[in-house]
Amino acid sequence: MTQEEIRERVRRIVAGVTGLDAARVGDTVSMRTDLEIDSLSRLEIGVDVDYAFQLKLPDEAYAEIDTVEAMVALVERRLAEKTA
């Protein structure tokens, strides 16, 4: 899976959970401050990302993730760990 495929899937998940237009969900846009996504919705995004990519990470792993860019990096690292 390419980085761009991961990025687009994460954006769709964020848009689906929040009801926002996926075009508003840029790589470096802060989910907390720019998009005003509450902590419960951010947790739901983390759980959905975990399920979509079968990462099997604890919920706490997503607590500090605030951008699509950071989420993509986390997914890439975990997928690399799983294949190593």
Query: Residues 35, 38, 40, 44: what is their CA dihedral angle, to the nearest 10 degrees?
Result: 0
Q: What's the pTM? A: 0.90
Distance of CA 58 to the CA centre of its chain: 14
Those residues whose C-beta lies under 8 Å from the C-beta of residue 56, and which sit 6 or more positions away, are 50
What pLDDT is attached to residue 23? 85
Name residues whose C-beta falls within 8 Å of residue 26's C-beta, 6 or more positions apart in sequence. 68
Element (DSSP H or E) covering residue 35:
none
Taking 90 as the threshold, does the pLDDT of residue 84 lie above it?
A: no
pLDDT digits (tens, 9 = 90+) for 30-77: 999 999 999 899 999 999 999 999 999 888 888 888 999 999 999 999
Q: What value does the mean pLDDT take over residues 12-16?
A: 95
